[in-house]
Amino acid sequence: MVSVSKDDKTGTATLVLQRPPVNSLNLELLQEITAAIKNMEKDKCRGFILASNSPTVFSAGLDIMEMYQTKEERLRLFWKALQEMWRTLYLTPLYTVAAINGHSPAGGGVLALSCDYSVMVSSKATIGLNETKLGLKPPVWFQKIFVNAIGFKNAYKALNHGTLFTPQEALSLNLVDELAGDPAQVMEQAKKQLEFGIQIPNFARTSTKYEMRHPHVQELNSYADKEVEDICKFILSDRVQKTLEVYLDNLKKKK
Ligand code: CO8
């Protein structure tokens, strides 16, 4: 579900999400992303681009099928894997660039926001945290990284309304750092940014990253187990199951 290609000359890599059709994040994909990042860290890689092999979707966010009509035990494992993937990506000392070549809603937006830099294609694709549109509450740590990126007032409105932004809007809000004309250019610009990022003195960059980001992870750690329990209760409730059913139906009808 992921492939990692390394460039030994530069000490960098590209981690490509490849779970068709839309790179929705299921338990196994989350575990594979975490393992791939940890392996790159062990290999003394200096940075990587997070990319997608879908032509139009970066990631459709969490796999709704992991939340709909699922077993509690699987849901618990899934949520723990999500927390662990986020801790790993958010805190990795490697310099990370998201190459957002297409749609990036909800969990897809969280992936992008957890990198150090992002380049998004200028297309019909959108990005944002649309959880409330699904009848779900974005977890507190989703809210926090969103507020950190675009400020409280913008995040407050967007989270409450479940807004998905165009690339231009996302750029003007600081939700992404750069736009590119087409997916090939996204990769080109992401590579340039990666080259730039790994030139910065490593100790200074990685300790700054750690000091600025670690408190957010510590905060999640203080309630991570309780979050798993609360999420299970919430998602498995009849009301949320019904809402997810309607959302899935609408996704199918859209075709
Ligand atoms: N999970 C599972 N299946 C999905 C998902 C998803 N997130 N997104 C799309 N699919 C499925 C579709 O149902 C469709 O299935 P099928 O082929 O069987 O009909 C297939 O993938 C292809 O989808 P589309 O035809 O819609 O593909 P398009 O290329 O036309 O559109 C989009 C791509 C724009 C990404 C579109 O699929 C879309 O909008 N998907 C939904 C995205 C979304 O809303 N994601 C939110 C997920 S929830 C989340 O990430 C955070 C939850 C936090 C929970 C907190 C609880 C308290």
pLDDT exceeds cutoff 80 at 194:
yes
Q: Which atom of ligand 1 is nearest to the CA of 106?
A: 50
Q: How many CA within 13 A on the CB side of residue 217?
A: 18
What is the mean predicted confidence (pLDDT) over 159-173? Answer: 98
CA 210, CA 195: separation in Å to the nearest integer?
A: 20
What is the mean predicted confidence (pLDDT) over 195-224? Answer: 98
Answer yes or no: is the C-beta of 63 below 6 A from any ligand 1 atom. yes
Answer yes or no: is the C-beta of 130 below 6 A from any ligand 1 atom. yes
28 pLDDT band (50/70/90 cuts)? very high
Q: What is the pLDDT of residue 107?
A: 98
254 pLDDT band (50/70/90 cuts)? confident
- The pLDDT tens digits of the residues spanning 229-242 come to 999 999 999 999 99
Q: What is the pLDDT of residue 255?
A: 72
Q: What is the pLDDT of residue 232?
A: 96
Answer yes or no: is the C-beta of 162 below 6 A from any ligand 1 atom. no
What is the mean predicted confidence (pLDDT) over 37-62? Answer: 97
Q: 100 and 121 in contact (C-beta within 8 Å)?
A: yes
∠ CA 103-118-160, rounded to 5°: 55
CA 159, CA 143: separation in Å to the nearest integer?
A: 8
Answer yes or no: is the C-beta of 227 below 6 A from any ligand 1 atom. no
Residue nearest to atom 19 of ligand 1 (CA): 252
Residue positions annotated with a catalytic role: 62, 107, 130-131
Answer yes or no: is the C-beta of 97 below 6 A from any ligand 1 atom. no
Q: Which atom of ligand 1 is nearest to the CA of 247?
A: 44
Ligand 1, residues 251, 252, 254: which to mutate, most atoms within 8 A of Cβ? 251
- pTM > 0.75: yes or no: yes
Tell me what percent of the residues of the chain surpass a pLDDT of 90: 98
Residue nearest to atom 22 of ligand 1 (CA): 21
115 pLDDT band (50/70/90 cuts)? very high
Residue nearest to atom 36 of ligand 1 (CA): 60
DSSP string spanning 83-98?
Answer: HHHHHHHHH-SSEEEE
pLDDT exceeds cutoff 80 at 228:
yes
- The pLDDT tens digits of the residues spanning 121-165 come to 999 999 999 999 999 999 999 999 999 999 999 999 999 999 999
Answer yes or no: is the C-beta of 255 below 6 A from any ligand 1 atom. yes
Residue nearest to atom 30 of ligand 1 (CA): 255
Answer yes or no: is the C-beta of 183 below 6 A from any ligand 1 atom. no
